[in-house]
Structure 1
Amino acid sequence: MKEKIIWLDSLRVISTFAVILLHVSGLILYEYGRVTEEIWNIGNFYDGMVRFCVPVFFMLSGALLLSKDYELSYFFKKRFWRIIPPLIFWSLIYIFYDYVLVGEKSFSPISFIKMVIRNIFYGSQGHLWFVYTLLGLYLFIPILRKWIKNSSKNEILYFLIIWFATIIYSIPYLKTYLPNIPLTNFSGYIGYLVLGYFLSNLTIKNKYIPVLFIIIGTTITIWGTHYLTHKNNKFSEYLYEYLTPNVLISSIGVFLFFKNLIIKNKIIKNLILFLSNQSFGIYLVHILILILLNKIGINWKFSNPLISIPVTSIICFFISSLTIYLLRKIKYGNYISG
């Protein structure tokens, strides 16, 4: 079974690393006008190159979950039990760090409890938005799976075409010239779930098509962001958004590229499986690791960003993986590590 889905594990690993790279390089972009043009362009290059990471995570969920049959109770027990305990655990860790170690210490017991509940419900760190969004999508997957199971390829493609139309509708410059037809029922990240399922069952033998998609989507993201930022004289993050045509194109390219990638080396396969198994935990903990690394001067500033961004990302990826590995060695650690 693992032989058949090694490409999915590879995608999960590369997307997890891409998220870290995104968060390391992204800090530069908000320094537009306060850093040199060269440094800002390097940050834009790295960040624009990895915008596929979150869409690919959603596509992986679609590829894996929409192709299986589950009893409703089993599905929710398996999925939510895997996500909610680690989410609560790491939320509490971030709350402890932010409010106890370095933040406000004058909370009354009642206000502290209210603050903890509020942060757990709404996210104690910015990157956790993805987990809450994923939980919302999971609620719809049992319904979506029934539709997928009973739909033809053309019917699924029909949904994806309309979903793509909602992305086109979101382009500010085109709204005025498009008919006012509400398409909200087809919009949002749910499209990436269906797309992941669709592409996982699609055969494309031409190996250059995925590469072409990656180049086109990434070029539009990087060059377009550069152009809009200079035009507005402030950082423009519109083309960085995950529900834009350019990010969609690059995400499709990355997904298909790894789907067609054949890995034969057993050592590399085992490493991929090891890191893939830890990917959710790495995602949850990596912001804390980046905060701690920053305190000892390991960030994009310690060298030329062309070097410091990937080096910081690799160090964070390694320490995050080690943290999850060691946490799982503790009794019951598997339930909270992620």
Structure 2
Amino acid sequence: MRNRVKFFDLARCVAAVAVIAIHVLAPYRYQFGDIPFNEWFTAISVNSVSRWAVPVFILITGALMLSDKREFDLGYYMRRRLGKVLVPFVAWSLFYAYFSGWSLHGFDAAHATQVLTNSLDKATYYHLGFFYYFIPLYFVIPLYQLFVRRYDDWALYALTGLWLLTTGLFLLRIDGLWSAQLWLYSGLLPLGYILYQKVPLNRRSVFVFVVLGLAAFSATIYQVVQMSLEANKYAFGRWLSYKTLNTVLAASMVFMVCRYVGENLSEKTDKVVSFISQHSLGIYILHPIFLWPMNEFAWYEGHPVWMIPIWIVISGSLSLAASWLLSRSTKTAWLLP
């Protein structure tokens, strides 16, 4: 049995919270000019400093999977790795296609059917888009595992450095073959392995990542606000993408900070973090259900500085409880990766 790595649990927890924050603040984004600027700026700032959430989940996957030295077993991999994610994804896609048909006006079967019809290339609910770029990574992970085992560290650094360059090009809208979604997401896998296995864990290295991450936060906020002011509407270019250099730097900072502090948590804190981590993907999958009334009844009205934390706690707590309940029965536990 693989030893538990405590900082992975901490990273999953903070990433789950950040994902909820992104979805809670969504109604404020397009209210540029309709709400006071300080309220819009608050929401946009939270959005700008939370985009690392999804990349952190992929960094953890890369750190774990590329560190696995066991011989590759196709049957085990398809059943225990890919199947464990793919089957729940299909089930939840069906559920959320149905769920999308509900509004304050009742159930719209035609809308739900249309959503399901388009599900091959478009998520049935906004948060499930994650699986459309996460699941394909399982087809390239074995290739990266082979690369790590066959070539030395410098080859790995060169490949990852080339990928980092393309994330910068993509941010600047310099497109080419390197703009392929699978390439831009898959580079997070070896980066996660490098941050876990190759980067020394000391104050100096963590400080460097913190400086780079904070610089990325500042640049993202500035660019989004400036672009919106110039366009006189909400605009962000590619600065809020999960596939750009600024987001990669922010995700790397969070990963390294969690690695630095995650192994020294108090026993009580560690138990809480471990419990939340076990249900982090459950929280991810379930929390939109509990945000539905917020969106439908406009219960987000109020200053984002307190409304965002309130709804993070409400939806996060309820989705954690729901995930725990589902995990208690063998009949439903399979629904949660």
Q: TM-score, normalised by structure 2?
A: 0.89
What is the alpha-carbon distance in structure 1 between the residues aligned to residue 33 and residue 179 of structure 2? 37
Which of 192, 210, 220 is matched with 2:188 structurally? 192
Q: Are the structure 2 counterparts of residues 32 and 293 from structure 1 closer, same or farther at C-alpha, using a change threshold of 3 Å?
A: closer
What's the counterpart of residue 46 of structure 1? 46
- Contact kept? 1:328, 1:334, Cα under 8 Å: yes
What's the counterpart of residue 309 of structure 2? 310
Question: What's the secondary structure of 2:109's corresponding residue?
Answer: coil
What's the counterpart of residue 134 of structure 1? 134
Counterparts of residues 269-280 of structure 1 (less than 5 Å) = 269-280=270-281
Q: 1:98-124: CA deviations, max 9, x gaps?
A: 2367442369xxx95x86454366421
Of the structure 1 ranges 68-77 and 287-296, higher mean CA displacement relative to structure 2 is found in 287-296
- Contact kept? 2:22, 2:47, Cα under 8 Å: yes
Counterparts of residues 154-233 of structure 1 (less than 5 Å) = 154-172=154-172, 175=174, 182-183=177-178, 187-201=183-197, 202-205=199-202, 206=204, 207-233=206-232
- Contact kept? 1:51, 1:240, Cα under 8 Å: yes
Of the structure 1 ranges 137-146 and 1-10, higher mean CA displacement relative to structure 2 is found in 1-10
How many angstroms does 1:281 deviate by? 1.3
Q: Are the structure 2 counterparts of residues 84 and 33 from structure 1 closer, same or farther at C-alpha, using a change threshold of 3 Å?
A: same
Which of 104, 109, 120 is matched with 2:108 structurally? 104
- Contact kept? 1:13, 1:272, Cα under 8 Å: yes
How many angstroms does 1:153 deviate by? 1.4
How many angstroms does 1:42 deviate by? 0.6
How many angstroms does 1:264 deviate by? 3.1
What is the alpha-carbon distance in structure 1 between the residues aligned to residue 322 and residue 217 of structure 2? 32
What is the alpha-carbon distance in structure 1 between the residues aligned to residue 328 and residue 291 of structure 2? 23
What is the alpha-carbon distance in structure 2 between the residues aligned to residue 6 and residue 145 of structure 1? 23
Q: Are the structure 2 counterparts of residues 326 and 240 from structure 1 closer, same or farther at C-alpha, using a change threshold of 3 Å?
A: same
What is the alpha-carbon distance in structure 2 between the residues aligned to residue 18 and residue 171 of structure 1? 22
- Contact kept? 2:115, 2:124, Cα under 8 Å: no
What is the alpha-carbon distance in structure 2 between the residues aligned to residue 117 and residue 328 of structure 1? 30
What is the alpha-carbon distance in structure 2 between the residues aligned to residue 35 and residue 42 of structure 1? 11
What is the alpha-carbon distance in structure 1 between the residues aligned to residue 49 and residue 97 of structure 2? 31
Question: Within the alignment, does 1:8 sit opposite 2:8 as a pair?
Answer: yes
Question: Structure 2: where are the runs of 5+ without partners?
Answer: none
Question: Within the alignment, does 1:30 sit opposite 2:30 as a pair?
Answer: yes
Q: 1:287-329: CA deviations, max 9, x gaps?
A: 1211134446543x1x321011111111111100001111222
Question: What's the secondary structure of 1:195's corresponding residue?
Answer: helix
How many angstroms does 1:277 deviate by? 1.0
What is the alpha-carbon distance in structure 1 between the residues aligned to residue 120 and residue 290 of structure 2? 20
What's the counterpart of residue 257 of structure 1? 257
Identity over the aligned pairs, expressed in percent? 22
Question: Within the alignment, does 1:240 sit opposite 2:240 as a pair?
Answer: yes
What's the counterpart of residue 91 of structure 1? 93
Q: Are the structure 2 counterparts of residues 73 and 44 from structure 1 closer, same or farther at C-alpha, using a change threshold of 3 Å?
A: same
What is the alpha-carbon distance in structure 1 between the residues aligned to residue 299 and residue 144 of structure 2? 44
Q: 1:200-242: CA deviations, max 9, x gaps?
A: 1121412422321221111111122111111222212221112
Of the structure 1 ranges 226-235 and 313-322, higher mean CA displacement relative to structure 2 is found in 226-235
Of the structure 1 ranges 43-52 and 119-128, higher mean CA displacement relative to structure 2 is found in 119-128
What is the alpha-carbon distance in structure 1 between the residues aligned to residue 270 and residue 220 of structure 2? 31
Letter in 2 for 1:105: A
Question: Within the alignment, does 1:268 sit opposite 2:269 as a pair?
Answer: yes
How many angstroms does 1:150 deviate by? 1.6
What's the counterpart of residue 71 of structure 1? 73
What's the counterpart of residue 291 of structure 1? 292
What is the alpha-carbon distance in structure 2 between the residues aligned to residue 168 and residue 82 of structure 1? 33
Q: Are the structure 2 counterparts of residues 296 and 27 from structure 1 closer, same or farther at C-alpha, using a change threshold of 3 Å?
A: closer
How many angstroms does 1:275 deviate by? 1.0
Q: What is the RMSD computed on CA atoms of the aligned residues?
A: 2.5
Letter in 2 for 1:280: L
- Contact kept? 1:225, 1:239, Cα under 8 Å: yes
Number of aligned residue pairs? 327
What is the alpha-carbon distance in structure 1 between the residues aligned to residue 178 and residue 49 of structure 2? 30
How many angstroms does 1:163 deviate by? 0.6
What is the alpha-carbon distance in structure 1 between the residues aligned to residue 309 and residue 102 of structure 2? 31
Of the structure 1 ranges 93-102 and 248-257, higher mean CA displacement relative to structure 2 is found in 93-102
How many angstroms does 1:45 deviate by? 1.4
How many angstroms does 1:171 deviate by? 3.8
Question: Structure 1: where are the runs of 5+ without partners?
Answer: none
Question: What's the secondary structure of 1:81's corresponding residue?
Answer: helix
Q: Are the structure 2 counterparts of residues 291 and 184 from structure 1 closer, same or farther at C-alpha, using a change threshold of 3 Å?
A: closer
- Contact kept? 1:90, 1:285, Cα under 8 Å: no
